[in-house]
């Protein structure tokens, strides 16, 4: 019986420690989440490593996606307006991203952003309303 209790206690402790993440990992994830939802101001700078010159700077509420040989930068420029930039990367061109202001994020909670417009399709119907009503079956049996 004592061996069984010791085994169960050991398993519970092992699971507890494997489920724990470092605070920095949780904070980093939450900051990335905030940036991907356009709630952080960032500065993205492209730098030529050979000449030492800045090539391009983008500032604003921007989300970035590194696609190995190109960087995709999507910025929110209005309440429902966005701009997307594609920037090529090479062996002498690199980039860095600076978060312009501090953001308090929880180390203990996470957010779920439910956006119904991404679940329900936005259908563009081309044609007349008569064509639309003929698609609906007549159930007068």
Is 126 contained in some domain?
A: no
Q: Where are the beta strands (DSSP E) in 1-102?
A: 42-48, 54-66, 70-78, 81-88, 93-99
Is 78 contained in some domain?
A: yes
Is 77 contained in some domain?
A: yes
Q: How far apart are CA 4 and CA 139, in angstroms?
A: 65
The one-digit pLDDT tens for each residue of the chain (141 residues) are: 666 676 677 655 655 554 556 777 777 777 888 888 888 888 888 888 898 888 889 999 999 998 888 999 999 999 889 999 998 888 888 888 888 887 666 666 666 655 565 566 666 666 666 665 665 555 665
Is 128 contained in some domain?
A: no
Number of compact structural domains in the chain: 1
Is 107 contained in some domain?
A: yes
Is 3 contained in some domain?
A: no
pLDDT at 27: 76
Q: Which domain holds residue 59?
A: 24-121
Closest Cα to residue 41, out of 61, 26, 58? Answer: 61
Beta-carbon-side half-sphere exposure of residue 104 (alpha carbons within 13 Å): 0
Long-range contact set of residues 50-53: C-beta below 8 Å, sequence gap at least 24: 50/92
């Amino acid at each position: 019986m004592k061996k069984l209790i010791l085994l169960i206690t050991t398993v519970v402790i092992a699971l507890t420690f494997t489920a724990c993440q470092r605070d920095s990992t949780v904070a980093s994830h939450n900051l990335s989440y905030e940036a991907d939802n356009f709630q952080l101001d960032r500065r993205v700078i492209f730098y030529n490593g050979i000449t030492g010159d800045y090539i391009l700077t983008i500032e604003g509420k921007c989300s970035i996606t590194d696609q190995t040989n190109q960087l995709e930068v999507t910025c929110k420029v209005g309440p429902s307006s966005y701009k997307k930039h594609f920037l090529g990367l090479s062996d002498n061109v690199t980039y860095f991203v600076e978060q312009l202001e501090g953001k308090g994020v929880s180390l203990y909670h996470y957010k779920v952003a439910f956006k119904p417009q991404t679940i329900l399709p936005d259908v563009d119907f081309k044609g007349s309303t008569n064509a639309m009503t003929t698609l609906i079956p007549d159930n007068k049996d």
